[in-house]
Structure 1
Amino acid sequence: MAQRVSLKSFLTTARKALTTPASQRPNPLTFVVGNESADLDSICSAVLYAYFRTHAPSSQPTLHIPLSNLPRADLALRTELNAIFPSSPNSVTPDDLITLSDLPSPSDLPPASTKWYLVDHNVLTGDLSSRGFDKSIAGCVDHHEDEHVIPSDAQPRVFAKCGSCMSLVLSQCQPIWDQLESHQEIDQELAKVAMAPILIDTVNLTSKDKTTDWDIKAAQYAEQKLVPTLGSSRTGSSSERYYVRGKYFDRLSELKDSILHLSYRDILRKDYKRWSDGSLNLGISTVVQGFETCLAEVGDKQTFLTALRDWAREQDLDIAAVMTVSKPGGIFTRELLVCALGGQEATKVARRFVEKNGEALGLERWKDGALDGEEDTEWRACWRQMDVGSSRKQVAPMLREVMKESARL
């Protein structure tokens, strides 16, 4: 059986590879990276996939570096990571994760000296794309729609619909994990990393819209690594428990949803993705509290709109969208705000998006148009989205398709 190291030791080794002089480090350097929103699914999937690919049986094992697709300063916004990596001696902390801030400079790390595996997305965007790393993609594991950018000969090239990309990652890694020597402490830590995004993305495996067989099988496999820690009895032991699914989910959710102490800028950048199609730039922020709560607890309408415009300028956006997910009164609710700030073409795209998709998404004007507005340089509308099954994963392609149609005209 293959030898293994702890997750902390693995991350330390991966970081050292980035700081080693170019002439002394592996060539190419191999990276695993999640999408630009850098949510739990992306961060954890990259860490787990990189760990097991590094430990794959081979006469010449290849170090895979897990890269969290965000600047190091933004890690502080991912408070839910503290539930996965609790502060304890010799354990991984969020500070051990490798971020965009840790990448060598462009002159020290040209695209030709790298190889990239994408998880939880299939189109490299943002800083990594602008540096040309999209020319060095070797494989992909994703649960989004295939945008037909990943080379046909990529290995692996996995696309399947499921709640969490981690479920697909775990299916890919399971054969390697099965071959490794058993190490209860390491296995427990890795299993907790695996379970976090699966539980969050499937609402504790209860969401009928999101939970698939991929998720159920992955959870069963990961939890087998945790079962021995449940104490001498599963029916009420008073002993300390390392993992209880419901409690773990509740803690993750509590930390993830705790955003009302943040500024609007931090809220907008916490779970954010950006695309450029044709001549327009689109950015979509997902917010885990409803507009009404944010306006009451974070700042009033004018404060919010000012922050949204400032964020759009900072990100060079023509269209800025905000999607909220909340449970007022225990009812799962989605809201959507689309703001066109890029002149007539952006406004035309925003209006066309509503015409084309408003009925399918079940868009109903929010609070009698309380956040709607139209000026010479800005068009803005906000709705309650009755189709709660459509997340950013579905709405972003709708907006981008209209952008592409506009660019072709």
Structure 2
Amino acid sequence: MERDWNELFCWFHRHPEIGFQEYETTAKIREILKEEGLTLHPAELETGVIAVVEGKKPGKTNGKTICFRADIDALPIEEKTNLSYASEHPGCMHACGHDFHTTVALKVASLLNQRKENLAGRIYFVFQPAEEVASGAEYVRKNGCLPEFSEVFGFHAEPSLRPGQVSIQSGSVMAAVDGFRIDIRGKGTHGATPQLGVNPITTAVSVVEKLGRVVPEQLSPLHAGVVSVTHIEGGATWNVIPETAFLEGTVRTMDGRDRSRIKEEIHRIARGVEREGRVQTKVDWQEGPSAVINDKELCESARDLAQKHGLQNVVLDPAMTGDDFSKFVPEGSDIKGLYIKVGTGSSENLHSDRFKVDASALEQTAEFLAELLEKQAVC
């Protein structure tokens, strides 16, 4: 019996689970893969699944080993879409389209399993947990018992594009994602006697002002970069100067050298306020995924095929959001990566409690991606 993929998409949307808690999602993926005749790859994963399609093309026994990655986790957001198939899990929803990603990947796996006589090499389908907490890809790489890949493919729902549109661009398309925290220790005192203490809050304000100048003063005006302070805290009441304060935020860059430059500048700023303000500082740099960089040749091939499938390629500005997809394509490696943005209809933006996907994009997306992988597997 022909599977109703839209119904499956609705099931995933109704049953969202956050990173490393995707037990029900994992069980459902396994169930569908087995029903579709896929081979499950042995992996030491508590959540997440890996399946493999082994090509059977005569005379092509040593083809490529390709990875197709789809993320499966949701976000801790209360859904407000009023969809008939809205989340049944309070405080959790698929606000980033990973339910769409999972369903599309399952259909692509099913299609290619049916076409394995035309394939050379192997295609691994990685249903990855915990993308939203930026550690799932590393978890899969460490525990998935995966081989070396020559090419890695991924995609993402894009609400600024309508179904039938895609964005396939070479170079950096998603930013490197890093975090920082700066702790400041001064000397506490009564609010009426500031001369007897060292106020860490005024130092924190000075640091925020200096951080605001990092991008325009340290990066080329032709390079994209973001330094955002998102949390600042110090003190507990109105008449006490506290001993400590802290601030934290995020850094987004497209270029590895810019990434290093900003990190160095944040440490320099912290050392500078120590000398100027009689405080002690500590910088905690939290390195996240690197930028997502698309291979030029893979882009050209995918764009040609998209046109054949009636998909319109739309040029989008590189996004300063990130994706740990880049962990599958380490910097300096020979692995080629391609990350495609797929139009899923006008809605609120990603991570909004009103974000939704137009499921009419599912069939065309799956057929396109299946043929793209099939084409690459026989090259």
TM-score (norm 2): 0.24
The higher radius of gyration belongs to 2
TM-score normalised to structure 1 length: 0.23
**More strand by percentage:** 2
Q: Which has the larger share of helix?
A: 1
